[in-house]
Chains A and B, each alone.
Chain A
Amino acid sequence: MSEKLVQVEHLRQYFPGGGFGKNKKYIQAVDDVSFTIDRGETLGLVGESGCGKTTTGRTLLRLYEPTGGRFLYNDEVIFDVEKKQYADMLPFRKKMQIVFQDPYASLDPRMTIGDIIGEAIDVHKMASSKKERYDIIIEMLSHVGLNSEHANRYPHEFSGGQRQRVGIARALAVRPEFIVCDEPISALDVSIQAQVINMFEDLQAEMGLTYLFIAHDLSAVKHISNRIGVMYLGRMVELADSYELITRPLHPYTKSLISAIPVADPKKAKESQRIVLGGDVPSPLNPPSGCRFRTRCPYADERCAAETPEWKELEKGHFAACHHIDKCN
Chain B
Amino acid sequence: MSDYLVDIKNERLSFFTPAGEVKALNDVSIHLKQGEVLGIVGESGSGKSVTAYSLMGLTAHPGKLLGGSLYFNGHQIEQLSEKEMRKIRGNEVSIIFQDPMTSLNPVYTIGNQIMEAILLHTNKTRAQAKERAKELLELVGINEPEKRLKQHPHELSGGMRQRVMIAIALACEPKLLIADEPTTALDVTIQAQILELMVELKNKLGMAIIMITHDLGVVASMCERIAVMYAGRIVEYGTAEDIFYHPKHQYTKGLIRSIPRLDTKDHERLVPIEGTPVDMLNPPKGCPFAPRCEECMKICLRQMPPVTNFGEVHYTQCWLNQKEEFETSSHEKGAADE
Q: Which residues of A contact B (CB under 8 A)?
A: 48-49, 159, 161-162, 189-195, 197-198, 201, 216, 218-220, 222-223, 243, 246-247, 256-267, 269-270, 274, 276-278, 280-281
Contacts and interface: CB of A to CB of B under 8 A. Distances in A.
Contacts of B254: 191
Interface stretch (B15-23, B80-88, B107-115, B209-217): B209-217
Given A48-B187, A222-B260, A269 B221 contact: yes
Nearest to B193: A276
Interface of B: 43-44, 157, 159-160, 187-193, 195-196, 214-218, 220-221, 240-241, 244, 254-256, 258-263, 265, 267, 269-274, 276-277
A219 B259 contact: yes
A47 B43 CA distance: 25
Contact of B191 (A198, A220, A260, A264): A260
A190 B277 contact: no
Given A192-B276, A195-B272, A264 B44 contact: no
Contact of A197 (B43, B270, B277): B270
Nearest to B240: A266
A188 to B, nearest CB: 10
Task: Give the most central of A49, A162, A280: most B CB within 10 Å.
Answer: A280
Given A189-B43, A191-B272, A219-B260, A266 B192 contact: no
B277 A159 contact: yes
Nearest to A266: B240
Contacts of A270: 221
B160 A280 contact: yes
A270 B224 CA distance: 12
A262 B271 contact: no
A280 B190 contact: yes
B189 A197 contact: no
Nearest to B217: A262
Given A189-B277, A190-B216, 16 more contacts: A190-B214, A191-B255, A192-B272, A192-B276, A218-B188, A222-B260, A223-B260, A260-B188, A261-B188, A264-B217, A265-B220, A266-B221, A267-B241, A269-B221, A276-B193, A280-B159
Contact of B157 (A191, A216, A263, A280): A280
B263 to A, nearest CB: 8
Nearest to B261: A219
Nearest to A246: B262
Contact of A261 (B258, B262, B277): B262
Nearest to B244: A266
Contacts of A260: 188-189, 191-192
Contact of B262 (A159, A191, A222): A222
